[in-house]
Chains A and B, each alone.
Chain A
């Protein structure tokens, strides 16, 4: 039973890892960022490229990916998203376009493949990331074999979640973000620089996605399309948890992860996924604004 719960915890932490960034960009800014999955993908490619070209380990790739994707997120916010605030469907389309652009950029090696230049680590093929040997296999804890890499993911997810909570609830900038979540116009009237805070928030959310990408690269395949399915799971978690609620996102990812694991052990993975989607639909039907939600906006 303990190992099933561990698997559920692990599935939940992976969901949370992707959803955390979304919870912030979607929750705080009301931007449906379809390119979030591509930020995960870029993060994974940072791990691939830093492994090949800098001989850097997976651990070093984590801050590196955060910086790269945060800067990319900042750029996207400045160039595209900023002009589309309040236009939900337009941001959806625009960020979807960005997602396709990013995928193709990686696939075509930023255009270099037209010139016959091949950059190792880029292109349409499958890539792999070396995982340090101490993160492979299992370690023993109280007479149970625990999966080392999954534990690593749980720990990193916990650290990121704590960091996000700290920034949102214990810093001045975080208070401003929360003010914007509740009511952006009122926040602006109180002297908060909404544009600047939004840009920072978007960059932070993108950076979190980049870290998620590094973690994914350690046990999934890295290829240009890898982000597309993740963004669906991410939105599922955020919507179930309640838009704008960090706690709701954490709870719903844990819940969906455990449901997935329990049903999968009892029956099979295919049914488990269907049950998870069933639960999501039920939650949205019963509580349209998710498990936890704010009044306001």
Chain B
């Protein structure tokens, strides 16, 4: 780029003004609140799930403020509505970063919305904290991922199904979009490695709830276990149809990766009793820390029957990871947070979590829960300690051969 003198002066002046302004204002109002963004759908089809996540963030902020804030300053949340639409998500992300001058946003639930906002966070140098378990295959230096990636949900799950449940033939079923398809990819590797086979890999339209044909296919397939990556309200219709066609969870269990306490409550516990889900967090985890978390959440949302689940717990603890990173770095900029958060550890309601120094995903403890007649899970298997997140496990990433490091993605490994 060639600058002439006038343009150079103009740019220099703007740049220095931009640099000086925040410095001035922060000095002038030292006890000003720290602003962070909460970008979730408050309206539209996804608002049911996303409002709960926003509640998790709001509760964490309220608790941080009650405990004296961050760096001695209170935290103020600017709530924006993504309206269940990726385009709106990207507009609102720009607004939070450019207009409100916010460097940290907690938000997004679907991968579609995350992909939509990602370029904005990367170009404008802001940090996104994303709590939902997702398909991996992402290595952004501007996102802290506090939910599980496929290896944390599947690496213990599939071998356990094969060895402990003695199942040999998998029927893989999912909603038709990127997450279930990536999960299926990882699953197939693990199934073959465990010495079992898969007989089908089928998909139903997202949000579709007519399961008659699919369940009848499952019945005819000769499979002895169903691996479900079905999402959203389709889950409820699926489990109900499953029972209504006379299939029994004892003989042919559904092993799910998405079905959480929320869906169990919505379908009626008797339909899921006996089936399994793999998640790092369950509401039934029997520790004082988790009991207290459930009580506080119920009080916070003013609903004595509210349930807690993996994404909600992650939405909550990611705020504390952010707080620790800011306090360690003593600064609010994205670079400072990124440097500060590597290796941060926090005692979350479900146990210890650590932000991975390489890929900014979280070390979580894989657990397998079996759903009981009361709508709660019984943890039937758990890793002794949190395991390292591997966002590219579907493509051959292992702990000794990392694709995603602090320098970003090693694209050469992805091709090989």
Interface residues, chain A, CB within 8 Å of chain B? Answer: 3-4, 7, 10-11, 14, 116, 118, 120, 124-131, 136-138, 145, 147-150, 218-221, 223, 225, 229, 260-261, 264-265, 268-270, 272-273
Contacts and interface: CB of A to CB of B under 8 A. Distances in A.
A225 B51 CA distance: 16
Interface in B219-254: 233, 236-237, 240-241, 243-246
Contacts of A273: 205, 208
B246 A145 contact: yes
B267 interface: yes
A24 B299 CA distance: 48
A147 B246 contact: yes
A273 B176 CA distance: 14
Contacts of A116: 302
Contact of B213 (A137, A149, A261): A261
Contacts of B305: 120
Contact of A268 (B47, B202, B262): B202
Contacts of A145: 245-246
Does more than half of chain B's interface fall in helix, strand or loop, or is it mixed?
helix
Contact of A269 (B45, B205, B270): B205
Contacts of A126: 48, 233, 236, 262-263, 265-266
A17 to B, nearest CB: 13
Interface residues of B, number: 37
Given A128-B268, A138-B245, A10 B47 contact: no
B300 to A, nearest CB: 13
A128 B202 CA distance: 27
A77 to B, nearest CB: 29
A270 B213 CA distance: 11
A5 to B, nearest CB: 12
Nearest to B266: A126
Contacts of B176: 270
Given A128-B267, A138-B246, A223-B233, A261 B212 contact: yes
Contacts of B207: 229
Interface string B256-290: 00000011011110100000000000000000000
A265 B268 contact: no
B116 interface: no
Interface in B142-179: 176
Q: By CB atoms of chain A within 10 A, which of B217, B244, B265, B302 has the most?
A: B244
B212 A7 contact: yes
A149 B244 contact: yes
A9 B223 CA distance: 26
A124 B47 contact: yes
A278 to B, nearest CB: 16
